[in-house]
Amino acid sequence: MSPLLPGATLGVLGGGQLGRMFVHAAQRMGYFTAVLDPEADSPAGRISHHFVQADYLDIDGLARLAGLSGAITTEFENVPAQALDNLAVARRVAPAAQAVAIAQDRIAEKAHFKRCGVVCAPYAVIGTETDLAAVSAALLPGILKTARLGYDGKGQRRVSDRAELAAAWAELGEVACVLEKLLPLAFECSVIVARGQDGQVVHFPPQRNTHRDGILAVTEAYAQNMPSAQAQRAVEAAKSIAEGLDYVGVLCVEFFVLDNGVLVVNEMAPRPHNSGHWTQDGCDVSQFELQVRTLAGLPLTPPRQHSPTVMLNLLGDLWFAPREAAQAIGAEPASQPAAADTPAEPPWEAVLALPGAHLHLYGKAEARRGRKMGHLNITGADREVVRATARHAAALLGLPLELSS
Ligand code: ADP
Ligand code: MG
């Protein structure tokens, strides 16, 4: 298939922040963009050349998107696979519906990991009372996760015994779930790969991730963030997972590293991922540019990390955070500490005075607790400089920050 060159229009299903950063990358390269989202106002819809307000399964809306676009991707993981199938009749669609459908269902996803020979946490599928009764004691304590529609720690419950397991399954609505054994994690990491239509695969170096309350809080990307043999194993596993899907597009694979050093695959996302946002400032090619290239059928070049980078996720909670920390290190906060329920803009001026601080905000109208509002990438000449700047920025923002030791 011949590539779609700059000047063509690239479409995306979903108008969230991932769509917005895809649109930025596409527009920078001279493409026009079209976004479909159910909401009238969305981070990507606001900045796209074309916008279609429609539900993901609205036939007319999908036809309008297809009419505008030479090729279409998705930023929204839970876009109905049927919508992608429908679009694929008329247009190039990447990733394919079948790959997205597997990533949307933890049961199918784990089966795929097993097929690829990649180790995942011991688990059982729970769909009936009989499955519940048959659960092996070896899986407890465990985490019960809904097979579908979970994200950012939603749709999961930690359970220590059978009684808690039964209660949690009832609480989750008795939908299809997986029970995973609770593993002793040394740390978490992820790998982002991009695979082209010709099967060429490129990857970013693995990043180390810290979650808070089930949501990604910090990503550290520098050579010393994990042993290199482990990093190599994670990259190989991610590539085999992409190849096994005959995947086209950007794929993120999340891993656990256990206390004994064993690498265990957790889950995958069929799109750019929050843990890859650091690539916008730490690499010469970002995950969003690779998404554009895979969709357009352009050549993929291996990304080169030019700077050690730390990414801090900026959640809506920051708009409500007390800012004593800023005073403690001698910088004046740009705004008064917010009353508990009145949002106040974080002290961007002080943060942006730090060399190597790159602010990304998603243009969301309202700050709410737990809502992803933006991220801050911090780059520098070496790991120690980057870590010191990250600590400084976190203190200014009133963010708790734990970096790897
Ligand atoms: P989500 O789809 O919400 O990201 P995950 O399956 O990635 O759900 O789980 C969220 C977080 O919960 C993980 O990043 C990890 O910190 C923790 N977690 C999940 N599964 C396990 C497990 N089997 N053992 C230990 N910790 C886990
Ligand atoms: Mg996860």
Tens of pLDDT, residues 199-229? 999 999 999 999 998 899 999 999 889 999 9
Q: Which residues contact 375 (CB under 8 A, 6 or more apart)?
A: 274, 277, 311, 312, 313, 314, 360
* pLDDT classification of 335: cutoffs 50, 70, 90: low
The confidence score (pLDDT) of residue 268 equals 96
**Domain boundary at 161, 181, 201, which?**
181
Distance, first Cα to last Cα, the chain: 48
Cβ(188) – ligand 1 distance below 6 Å: yes
Q: Is the pLDDT of residue 61 over 90?
A: yes
In a domain, 256, yes or no: yes
> Residue 54: what are its φ and ψ, rounded to 5°?
-165, 155
Task: Say yes or no: 175 and 257 in one domain.
Answer: no
Least confident of 145-154, 320-329, 370-379: 320-329
Q: Which residue(s) pair with 216 in the sheet?
A: 211
Whole-number Å distance, alpha carbon 159 to ligand 1 midpoint, is 13
Q: Is the pLDDT of residue 330 over 70?
A: no
The confidence score (pLDDT) of residue 336 equals 52
Whole-number Å distance, alpha carbon 256 to ligand 1 midpoint, is 9
Least confident of 51-55, 247-251, 255-259, 326-330: 326-330
The confidence score (pLDDT) of residue 153 equals 73
Cβ(148) – ligand 1 distance below 6 Å: no
Give the domain extent around 171.
Answer: 122-181
What proportion of the chain, given as a percentage, has pLDDT over 70?
96
Whole-number Å distance, alpha carbon 147 to ligand 2 midpoint, is 13
For 362-403, the pLDDT digits (tens) are: 999 899 999 999 999 999 999 999 999 999 999 999 999 999
Task: Give the span between the Cα atoms of 239 and 189, in whole angstroms.
Answer: 15
Q: Please identify, by atom number, the ligand 1 atom nearest to the C-alpha of residue 185.
A: 25
Looking at the structure of the chain, the number of domains it has is 3
Q: Is the pLDDT of residue 272 over 60?
A: yes
Cβ contact 22:12 at 8 Å? yes
Query: Does the reported pTM lie above 0.85?
Result: yes
The confidence score (pLDDT) of residue 39 equals 96
- Ligand that lies nearest to the alpha carbon of residue 147, given by its number in the listed order: 1
**Domain boundary at 181, 205, 222, which?**
181
Whole-number Å distance, alpha carbon 66 to ligand 1 midpoint, is 36
Size of the chain in residues = 405
Cβ(75) – ligand 1 distance below 6 Å: no
21-49 residues labelled b (16+ CB within 10 A) or e (exposed): bbbbbbbeeebbbbbbbeeeebbbbbbbe
Helix axis angle, 106-115 to 228-244, nearest 10°: 110
Task: Say yes or no: 266 and 285 in one domain.
Answer: yes
Whole-number Å distance, alpha carbon 267 to ligand 2 midpoint, is 6
Cβ(212) – ligand 1 distance below 6 Å: no
Q: Is the pLDDT of residue 333 over 70?
A: no
In a domain, 381, yes or no: yes
| Inter-CA distances, 328 with 390, 398, 404, Å | 16, 11, 24
Whole-number Å distance, alpha carbon 331 to ligand 1 midpoint, is 37
In a domain, 110, yes or no: no
Cβ(141) – ligand 1 distance below 6 Å: no
Task: Say yes or no: 262 and 284 in one domain.
Answer: yes
In a domain, 228, yes or no: yes
In a domain, 106, yes or no: no
